[in-house]
Amino acid sequence: MQDNLTSIQDRELAIQERLKTFRSDLTEKQKEWLEFSTEVDHSMPYFKIKHFVGDAQITAYQKYKQFLLEIRAREESLENLIMNIARQEAVIEVIYEDMEKITSPAQMKLKEFELITNRNDLLKLHRRLAQGYEERRSFILALQEMYDSGEAFLEDGTDLKDAIQDPKKVEALEEEYWKYRLGKQAALDMIATGKIGTGNMEAITMLDHADQVKTLNVAIDWATRVDGAMGEIQSRIVKQLANVNYDIQLQNTSLELE
């Protein structure tokens, strides 16, 4: 068995050397980047989770639900990875058992390649598992932040965890969410074009009259606030530029100030 292991190690080294020939046109630094690309953490960053997954949901209720959905998805993915790792380890054990029975050098060579492939697959699974744990942790931290800030509680102090298990509260929270969502979408239309788009307007008209008015109030309020904030920022920047000697050079769509 020791001879087989030595043979496998030699075969792995030979394969690695062969792979290196496909990198002959790369500099040492470029090869370093290539290796680093397989090791760096590619999980979703916390900033993206907080602002573009959580805050994109508009209301705290929907944000809370989204975080739960994301955590569940990662948990199920981790469960699958753990099962796949266990299965991969069993496959490798079977390969070792088969190798003990092989007498043909050619068959042994094929079995060695099979072993190398499965061992590499196992390494990839462990890499994905580590990143999966990190991403799950980030979503749990985002949910924890909702509790720390008080955002995970309704105005009456009800924990959103309890609220989403109460059908009556869920109905009220869903109603609030859709009013704010349609209102914000309509506001974005107003900011971009000066009027509410037909798609969002059609959706708003599906509500009863009172809810239509509330949704349009949200739209106008949100658009007015954004417009006012943009005006203040523009005014401040104009004042700052008035005190700077600058030379505008349009080159490659860039603007350079001196």
3-class secondary structure, 214: helix
Q: What is the mean pLDDT of residues 111-137?
A: 91
As given in the structure block, the two tokens for residue 223 are 């658009």
A 10 A CB-CB count for 58 gives: 19
Q: What is the mean pLDDT of residues 4-22?
A: 62
Distances (CA, A) of 40 to 35, 107, 183: 9, 37, 41
- Identify the pLDDT of residue 108: 87
> What percentage of the chain exceeds 90 in pLDDT?
62
A 10 A CB-CB count for 167 gives: 8
- Identify the pLDDT of residue 159: 97
User: Scanning the structure block, which residue is given the tokens 């955590």?
Assistant: 71
Cα 197 from Cα 194, distance rounded (Å): 9
Instruction: Report the sign of the C-alpha dihedral through residues 62, 67, 72, 77, in that order.
Output: positive
User: Where residue 252 falls among pLDDT bands split at 50, 70, 90?
Assistant: low
As given in the structure block, the two tokens for residue 138 are 């980030």
**Helix (H), strand (E) at residue 143:** helix 105-149
Q: Where are the domains positioned within the chain?
A: 41-152, 167-242
28-86 pLDDT, tens per residue? 898 888 888 877 878 888 899 998 899 899 999 999 999 999 999 999 999 999 999 99
Question: Is the model's pLDDT at 87 over the cut of 90?
Answer: yes
Q: What is the mean pLDDT of residues 180-195?
A: 94
- Identify the pLDDT of residue 26: 83
Distances (CA, A) of 154 to 48, 59, 74, 129: 25, 11, 27, 36
